[in-house]
């Protein structure tokens, strides 16, 4: 399983995005792997499409990719706070890291800071 950072979805969804080609090639290289995101990552991805009036299209885009959307639970709060504190990541990135770690999954991101934190925790970054 591969956990996606929002920047991968954002780049993939918008052909004009500076990271579109990189996101597309990464996802093609790992096309056989199941994909997952957190509910917060989905919300983060939906910000621009919502502002542009194409939120429904963006939600369908994610659904058609077969991405598993993982909820956040109250029981996760203390661990997430600790992870954010230990890594210095912003909460959305800490949540991506938490999901990859808790699912024993790989992580796909275009963010060097998140990638470095993930590798420091022994999470494979693709």
- pLDDT on residue 119: 97
**Stretches in the chain below the pLDDT threshold 50:** none
- pLDDT on residue 21: 97
- pLDDT on residue 122: 96
Cα–Cα distance between 104 and 22 in angstroms, integer?
A: 24
Note the pTM of the prediction, 2 decimals: 0.94
- Structural domain includes residue 125: no
- Structural domain includes residue 126: no
- Structural domain includes residue 61: yes
- Structural domain includes residue 66: yes
Using DSSP, state whether 65 is helix, strand or coil: helix
CA 42 to chain centre: 8
pLDDT in tens, 1-27: 999 999 999 999 999 999 999 999 999
- The Cβ of residue 63 has, within 10 Å, a number of other Cβ atoms equal to 10
What is the DSSP secondary structure assignment for residue 71, as one 8-state letter? Answer: P
Q: CATH no. for residue 84?
A: 3.40.50.1010
Radius of gyration of the chain (CA): 14
| Number of domains present in the structure of the chain | 1
- Sheet with 68-70: list strands edge to edge: 68-70, 35-38, 2-4, 106-108
- pLDDT on residue 51: 97
Domain with 16, as residue range(s), is 2-120
State how far the alpha carbon of 56 is from the alpha carbons of 49, 62, 89, in Å. 8, 10, 30
């Amino acid at each position: 399983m591969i956990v996606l950072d929002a920047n991968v979805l954002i780049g993939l969804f918008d052909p004009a995005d500076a990271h579109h080609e990189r996101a597309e090639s990464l996802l093609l290289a790992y096309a056989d792997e199941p994909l997952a995101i957190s509910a917060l990552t989905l919300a983060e991805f939906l910000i621009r499409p919502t502002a542009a009036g194409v939120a429904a299209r963006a939600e369908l885009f994610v659904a058609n990719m077969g991405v598993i959307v993982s909820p956040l639970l109250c029981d996760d709060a203390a661990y997430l706070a600790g992870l954010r504190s230990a890594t210095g990541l912003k909460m959305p990135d800490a949540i991506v890291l938490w999901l990859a770690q808790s699912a024993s999954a790989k992580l796909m991101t275009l963010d060097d800071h998140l990638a470095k934190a993930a590798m420091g925790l022994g999470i494979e970054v693709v």
